[in-house]
Amino acid sequence: MKRAAPAVLRGAILTPAGFVDGTLDIDAQGRIGAIEGLAIDSRKARESGMPLVLPGFIDLHVHGGGGRDIMEGGDAARSVARLHAAHGTTALLATTMTAPPAELASAFGGLAATLADGIDHGARVLGVHLEGPYISGARLGAQPDHARPVDLDELGRLHAQVPIRLLTLAPEIAANMALIPALCRAGHVVQIGHTLGSYEHGVQALQLGARGFTHLFNAMSGMHHREPGMVGAALAHADYAEIIPDLLHSHAGALRVALRAIPHLFCVTDSTAAAGMPDGEYRLGSQTVRKCLGGVRLADGTLAGSTLTMDQALRNLVDTLQLDLPDAARRVSTHAADFLGLEGRGRLSRGAFADLVLLDRDLQLQDVFLEGVALDARRN
């Protein structure tokens, strides 16, 4: 791994306390040595013409990008991490599909090699989001039909290859619900998703230790005023949930509802191999998907992940949903870091990793630093 060269960046720097007009020092260990400057508000920061320096984006739901799919195994994750780093993502979870045990083991084998190599190939791959197979066969969404209850032996074998940081399950399956406390004790963060479960199932799962919801609104029982469903449980009780702000998976009005209801709602891309690629056919696990008009779908028209990147997610939050830039930045970085318990990531403060992005006033990406190393330098 290339070592960071000490550097000083000048601009409007977003600290946990707000923007400062000043400087950020990067030390030889790739961490932030100091931030100095005078406080300015976010409007003046954008109008100043200075580079906007924000925390690097953190994406906890990434299936692919750049024409490659995590389930391919081999070196696919390297290409995926490289594509997302070019769009400002500095840390991510490689996300697997529902699949037979042998296919999952093969994908994990490729991921193990990528993690051993470090970050030279792109964004830091922090581990795995196991989105399946412990989900409802009646709410597969675009997942292949290999759903099954939680299997602790299978989970242990996979976790020994690559850390499973985040695990999605359907809590209405009795075996899954019963194992939530054990999964949490083992260090897995549990999310509720791909579920037909009721409001009551959601509340019980949260009480047992589940902490979030997978792509809120999508592939879960919806809200009705007499049957609030899993969406109702999330809106009434969740502190954290992930959402896909591509304006295809959820209407802007639904996004606004979630933003008002869930304090630490954070963004994910749910990106596929089609991200960063032209229209055409790509793989999503064992399935063929087609990218067309900005969306990705199965042959039957079902949405199958996205082509979203986190820099576009930020622009959607600010330009379409009218979020203040510091709030939007927290939702593409800080909240995800806190949800996963990441030390030294998701915020620009002394001692944190120098994972950061430089944007212009239109929120177009200008540069990316990954643990203190500029993206352009990493390509040399």
For residues 75 and 77, give the distance between their C-alpha atoms in angstroms, rounded to a whole number. Answer: 6
pLDDT band at 114 (very low <50, low <70, confident <90, very high): confident
Mean pLDDT, all residues of the chain: 95
For residues 320 and 52, give the distance between their C-alpha atoms in angstroms, rounded to a whole number. Answer: 19
Confidence (pLDDT) at 276: 95
Confidence (pLDDT) at 311: 98
Residues 192 and 240: beta-carbon distance below 8 Å:
no
For residues 168 and 147, give the distance between their C-alpha atoms in angstroms, rounded to a whole number. Answer: 12
Confidence (pLDDT) at 293: 84
pLDDT band at 377 (very low <50, low <70, confident <90, very high): low
Residues of the chain with CATH 2.30.40.10: 7-54+348-378
Confidence (pLDDT) at 2: 63
Question: Which of 59, 270, 311, 355 does the annotation list as catalytic?
Answer: 270
Query: If we measure between CA atoms, which residue out of 88, 87, 84, 57 comes closest to residue 70?
Result: 84
Query: If we measure between CA atoms, which residue out of 214, 236, 216, 209 comes closest to residue 225?
Result: 236
Confidence (pLDDT) at 378: 54
CA angle 116, 119, 122 (to 5 degrees): 130
- Mean pLDDT, residues 47-61: 96
Residues of the chain with CATH 3.20.20.140: 57-340
Bigger pLDDT: 7 vs 266: 266
Residue 270 has pLDDT above 80, yes or no: yes
DSSP 272-338: -TTTTS-SEEEEETTEEEEEETTEEE-TTS-B-SB---HHHHHHIIIIIS---HHHHHIIIIIHHHH
pLDDT tens for 66-103 read 999 999 998 999 999 999 999 999 999 999 999 999 99
CB proximity list for 135: less than 8 A, separation 6 or greater: 98, 143, 147, 168, 169, 170, 193, 194, 195
pLDDT tens for 174-205 read 999 999 999 999 999 999 999 999 999 999 99
pLDDT tens for 149-164 read 999 999 999 999 999 9
pLDDT tens for 325-376 read 999 999 999 999 999 999 899 999 999 999 999 999 999 999 999 999 998 7
What is the DSSP pairing of strand 52-55 with strand 295-297?
Answer: unpaired
Residue 322 tokens, joined: 């009218």
Active site residue 376: no
pLDDT tens for 277-333 read 999 999 999 999 999 988 999 999 999 999 999 999 999 999 999 999 999 999 999
Per-residue b/e over 319-339, b at no fewer than 16 CB within 10 Å?
eebebebbebbbbbbbbbbbb
Confidence (pLDDT) at 308: 97
pLDDT band at 380 (very low <50, low <70, confident <90, very high): very low
What is the DSSP pairing of strand 280-284 with strand 287-292?
Answer: antiparallel
pLDDT tens for 231-245 read 999 999 999 999 999
Q: pTM of the prediction?
A: 0.96
Q: Give the N- to C-terminal CA distance of the chain in Å, as an integer.
A: 12
Q: Which superfamily does CATH assign the domain made up of 7-54+348-378 to?
A: Urease, subunit C, domain 1 (2.30.40.10)
Classify the C-alpha dihedral 369-49-37-19 as positive or negative.
negative
DSSP 22-57: EEEEE-TTSBEEEEEEEEE-HHHHHHT-SPEEEEPE
Residues 303 and 249: beta-carbon distance below 8 Å:
yes
Q: Which superfamily does CATH assign the domain made up of 57-340 to?
A: Metal-dependent hydrolases (3.20.20.140)
